Amino acid sequence: MIPRHLLIGVAALLVLVVSMGIYVRHMRRRAEEFQYAAADALPVAPPASGPTETVTLYVADDDAGTLRARSAQIPLPGGRQQRAEELLRALLRIYQQPDSAHPLPPAADIRSIFLVDPGAAVIDLNAAFADQHRSGILSEQLTVNSLVETLAANVPGISRVNILVEGKTRETLAGHADLTETFDVITVEQAANQ
């Protein structure tokens, strides 16, 4: 005959082991979800491959309140659309450097660019780009001007640009710059040169 106190002790330990198992399983799932979320926030595009080309990037400078043309050597793929996407990703990498004169959020990315003939381009930004962008007329407008001018300078034939966020029209980038408009490349260039 097994003593009663021994039975109670074993049963209590058994309940404890099962409870701990459930808790550990729960914590493991949460950790996995966190990892997926963190991974989702980072750019996932593979590095571009292809011959290196010299391009002109229009880089914003918050202190000066202007864009500065900067030459860069970057590998560009063959397709026109892929070239446009890599071009803007190269621009983003400059803004995501720690010493950037126009810092953009680390998780900001270009989801895709659609080139719609004749002359129209649609830039689709990810949510982090807009959600974590600094709010202010100057900062937001410089970002828009930088994207539009860089695209127009390196992808021939683009005269109009629309900007979407996560595939949808968004009223403003971060409270100021109007994203419901179609940006006319010539008008943006004139404004940037003021």
Partner 1 sequence: MRWTKVPSPQYSVPSSRWKVGYWVLGTTYWVLLLLSAAPSLEEKHISVYSPVAIYTLPVLERAGHEYVGLLELLEPLGRVSSQTDGRRWNLRYNAVDAEFAAGKTRARIRGRNFDLSAPFLIENSHGLVPLSSLSALLPRFLETPVNFHESARRLFVGDVRIQVGFQPDASNPLRLALNFSAPVNPTISTEPGKLRMVFKRDPVVSPGSQSISFDNKVITQASYSENNGDAELDVAATQPLMASFSNDRKTIVISVVPQAPATPSVAGSQNPAPTSPTANVASGSSRRVLAVVDPAHGGSERGAALTDTLAEKDVTLGFARLLRHELEVRGFAVALLRDADTSSTLDQRAAAANVARAGIYISLHATSQGSGARVYTALLPVEGPSKGAFHAWNAAQSPALPVSRIVSAAIVAQMQKREFPVRASSASLRPLNNVSMPAVAVELAPGTDGVAELTNANYQQRAASAIADAVVSVRDRLGAQP
Binding footprint of partner 1 on the chain (CB under 8 A): 62-63, 65, 134-139, 141, 144, 171-172, 174-178, 180-181, 183-184, 186-188, 190-191, 194
Nearer to partner 1, 40 or 181 (CB): 181
Least Å from the CB of residue 163 to partner 1: 10
| Residues 91 and 72: beta-carbon distance below 8 Å | no
- Closest approach of Cβ 171 to partner 1, in Å? 7
Within 10 angstroms of residue 122's Cβ, the number of other Cβ atoms is 16
CB of 58 vs partner 1, minimal distance in Å: 15
**What letters, b where the CB count within 10 A reaches 16 and e where it falls short, cover 147-156?**
bbbbbbbbbe
H or E element in which residue 154 lies:
helix 137-154
Least CB distance to partner 1 at residue 29 (A): 30
Distance in Å, CB of 115 to partner 1, minimum:
21
> Which of 53/62 has CB closer to partner 1?
62
Backbone torsions φ then ψ of 147, nearest 5 degrees:
-65, -45
- As given in the structure block, the two tokens for residue 117 are 């003939």
Question: 120 has which bridge partners?
Answer: 116, 160
Integer angstrom CA distances of residue 169 from 102, 128, 182: 24, 15, 11
Closer to partner 1 at the Cβ: 143 or 154?
Answer: 143
Pick the closer one to partner 1 by CB: 76 or 104: 104
Residue among 165 and 177 whose Cβ is closer to partner 1: 177
